């Protein structure tokens, strides 16, 4: 079982806007990783050393991205979102949502936006 230790604003600034989570794992090591990029992680015997190792890993991620001609990952907190995206869904789901929207007196877009907002609130607890 993992025990969450910390997540701080100061750490986020240190890592280009990415949120850092630190856990104490079952073996007694501290694991630091980016909440938005959980595959970028590091571990050590203390939280400070885990953060130092995560800093090394982050620098390597950036170097490899540049070397491979790929964009360096940008934290969601530092990106601009326009509020528009397209999602392909099964036509039966599309039909059911359209019927539900019509019954509720909403546009399909408004209904889906409400459902997504509720879902995100459930996940984030806000």
pLDDT at position 85: 87
CATH number for 82-124 (one of 2.60.40, 3.30.70, 1.10.357, 1.10.1220): it is 1.10.1220
pLDDT tens for residues 108-120? 999 999 999 999 8
CA separation, residue 117 to residues 37, 99, 104, 113 (Å): 22, 20, 17, 6
- Kindly list the domain boundaries of the chain, sorted by start residue: 3-67, 82-124
Q: Residue 56 pLDDT > 90, yes or no?
A: yes
> What average pLDDT score do residues 68-95 get?
92
Q: How far is CA 37 from CA 33, 47, 91, 118, in A?
A: 7, 18, 32, 24
Reported as a pLDDT band with limits 50, 70 and 90, residue 54 is: very high
3-state DSSP helix/strand/coil % of the chain, to nearest 5: 50, 15, 35
pLDDT, the chain, mean: 89
Interval 83-111 mean pLDDT = 94
Mean pLDDT of 96-114: 94
Q: Could you write out the DSSP letters of every residue in 52-78?
A: HHHHHHHHHHHHHHHHTTPPPP--GGG
Name 43's bridge partners: 31
């Amino acid at each position: 079982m993992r025990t969450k230790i910390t997540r701080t604003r100061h750490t986020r600034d240190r890592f280009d806007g990415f949120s850092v989570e630190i856990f104490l794992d079952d073996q007694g090591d501290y694991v630091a990783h980016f909440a938005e990029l959980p595959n970028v992680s590091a571990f050590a015997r203390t939280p400070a050393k885990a953060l130092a190792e995560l800093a090394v890993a982050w620098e390597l991620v950036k170097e490899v991205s540049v070397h491979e001609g790929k964009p360096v990952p940008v934290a969601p907190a530092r990106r601009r979102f326009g509020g528009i995206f397209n999602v392909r869904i099964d036509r039966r789901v599309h039909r059911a949502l359209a019927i539900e929207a019509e019954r509720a007196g909403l546009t399909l877009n408004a209904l889906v936006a409400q459902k997504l907002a509720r879902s995100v609130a459930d996940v984030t607890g806000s």
